């Protein structure tokens, strides 16, 4: 049964520029000219909250390795990736109808999916769309964190007193999310938390290690940081 909830949740579809742009990278446009300041950091933290809430939700369960995205897709998608990105430059341009039209106009279904059709079927449209949304939000989350980190590592200064508050907000967001995030994002969050707190994070790392609901990679990453620190003490 196809899930008829919105393909792109409202909070994600409404992300502000530049965080709604597909294919973000820290050194590329538009972020290469998007210099941090207190107002932009505050916006970025709100965007990060929305991204983390999405990644913690049920939505990612519809992405990833699904029946209609089989080995044909994995091998051949690179031939279509650029065209798809040009058609859907921001998340708010993505919809089931638009994806169906793009598939009908651009894709050889036998080559990409190993199956034939006259009209792109619902499961292909839904799985491709949800997988794309998940991948885009995951990338945006990583770029957001990398963009925020330099501006919050230093304690607040007279010209930017909000640094310390923003650092605390970033830590709060990541600490709340880390045990509930999928493995890769949880592992990343643990590393960032350690980089910002080090010894002050030991108690938190122990909690994550013992968290019954945390993915195993996240628990193991928390254990690794804790054990490495304790070994340095001996």
pLDDT tens digits for the chain (234 residues)?
Answer: 556 778 898 999 999 999 999 889 888 888 988 988 999 999 999 999 999 999 998 655 544 444 557 777 878 898 999 999 999 999 999 999 999 999 999 999 998 888 899 999 998 898 899 889 988 999 999 999 999 999 888 665 666 778 889 999 999 999 999 999 987 899 999 999 999 999 999 999 999 999 999 999 999 999 999 999 988 887
State whether 29 and 144 are in the same domain.
yes
Q: How many CA atoms lie within 13 A of 199 on its CB side?
A: 4
State whether 19 and 123 are in the same domain.
yes
The count of structural domains within the chain is 2
CB 181 within 8 A of CB 189: yes
State whether 58 and 149 are in the same domain.
yes
Helical axes 163-177 vs 38-56, angle rounded to 10°: 0
pTM: 0.90
CA–CA separation, 23 and 188 (whole Å): 19
State whether 128 and 190 are in the same domain.
no
CB atoms within 10 A of CB 193: 22
State whether 28 and 143 are in the same domain.
yes
Structural domain for 63, as ranges: 10-153
State whether 75 and 182 are in the same domain.
no
State whether 16 and 61 are in the same domain.
yes
DSSP 161: T
Is 79 domain-assigned? yes
């Amino acid at each position: 049964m196809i899930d008829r909830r919105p393909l792109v949740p409202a909070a994600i579809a409404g992300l502000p520029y530049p965080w709604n742009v597909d294919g973000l990278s820290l050194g590329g446009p538009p972020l290469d000219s998007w210099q941090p300041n207190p107002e932009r950091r505050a916006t970025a933290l709100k965007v990060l909250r929305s991204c983390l809430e999405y990644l913690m939700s049920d939505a990612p369960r519809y992405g990833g390795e699904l029946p209609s995205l089989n080995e044909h897709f994995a091998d051949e998608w690179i031939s279509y990736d650029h065209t798809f990105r040009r058609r859907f430059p921001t998340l708010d341009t993505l919809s089931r109808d638009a994806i169906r039209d793009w598939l009908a106009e651009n894709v050889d279904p036998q080559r990409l999916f190993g199956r034939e059709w006259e009209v792109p079927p619902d499961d292909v449209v839904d799985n491709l769309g949800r997988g794309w949304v998940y991948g885009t939000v995951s990338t945006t989350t990583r770029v957001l964190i990398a963009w925020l980190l330099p501006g919050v590592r230093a304690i607040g200064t007279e010209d930017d007193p909000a640094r310390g508050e923003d650092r605390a907000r970033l830590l709060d967001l990541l600490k709340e999310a880390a045990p509930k995030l999928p493995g890769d994002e949880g592992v990343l969050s643990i590393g960032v938390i350690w980089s910002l707190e080090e010894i002050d994070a030991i108690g938190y790392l122990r909690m994550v290690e013992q968290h019954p609901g945390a993915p195993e990679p996240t628990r193991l990453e928390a254990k690794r940081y804790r054990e490495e620190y304790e070994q340095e003490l001996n």
